[in-house]
Copies of this chain bind each other. A is one copy, B any other.
Amino acid sequence: MHLDRLKQQIRFVIEIDKLKRVVRQTILMDRSRLENDAEHSWHLAIMAMLLSEYAAENNIDLFRVIKMVLVHDLVEIDAGDTYCYDEEAIEDQMKREEEAADRIFNMLPEDQSKEIRLLWDEFNDRKTPEARFAAALDRLQPLLHNYNTDGMMWKKNGIKSNQVISRNKPIEEGAPTLWDYAAGLIGDAVRKGFLAQ
């Protein structure tokens, strides 16, 4: 029994509880409160299970997609959630998140720290079909929330349709059918007045 190794792993399990306190600019479907990163990550993992048939490439490694979405926001424990339409915050986002990755992932035994880091890098680089599909889900999920709450957070943050289109267009690379669907929602949101032209 490698008790030191287990203790190190348990310390990490305890540390990442903090992700439940990182609040996003997405409101729950019932509009009761903002969503946090842990809930968001769980939602993406289930979406990956159910929507993989729409991935741009056949036979993607769905297990790796799910692992990627489960860990993709862990760095926000230190770096905080960066709102995708906050251009100032996006500027130093990578630097803040790299530092966070160094601290948080290095709490794990070296083999596991490397594994999580590889998954996180793959997600950010969007060079594999798996990462592009994961990124598509990461965009589609908040869009579903915005559409189904009559654009509440779009309105609150003064977001316009061209911003939403350019944020969500990468869905097409990862899952073309989901992009067609998303583009339909965006158009409909403008028509219904949920989203400013």
A67 near B49 (CB under 8 angstroms)? yes
Q: Which residues from chain B contact A54 at a C-beta distance below 8 Å?
A: 6
Q: Which residues from chain B contact A195 at a C-beta distance below 8 Å?
A: none
Shortest Cβ distance from residue A44 to the other chain B in the assembled complex, whole angstroms: 10
Shortest Cβ distance from residue A105 to the other chain B in the assembled complex, whole angstroms: 11
Consensus secondary structure, chain A interface: helix
Q: Which residues from chain B contact A50 at a C-beta distance below 8 Å?
A: 9, 12-13, 108, 112
Q: Which residues from chain B contact A45 at a C-beta distance below 8 Å?
A: 42, 45, 66, 70
Interface positions of A (Cβ within 8 A of B): 1, 3, 6, 9-10, 12-14, 16-21, 28-30, 32, 35-36, 38-39, 41-43, 45-47, 49-51, 54, 62-63, 66-67, 70-71, 108, 112, 141, 144-145, 148, 177-178, 180-181
Asked, given contacts A36-B39, A177-B6, whether A46 binds B71 with beta carbons under 8 Å apart, the answer is yes
Q: Which residues from chain B contact A29 at a C-beta distance below 8 Å?
A: 14, 17-18
B1 near A177 (CB under 8 angstroms)? yes
Extra inter-chain contacts (7) besides given A18-B30, A39-B42, CB under 8 Å? A21-B32, A41-B42, A45-B45, A45-B70, A49-B70, A49-B71, A63-B66
Q: Which residues from chain B contact A178 at a C-beta distance below 8 Å?
A: 6
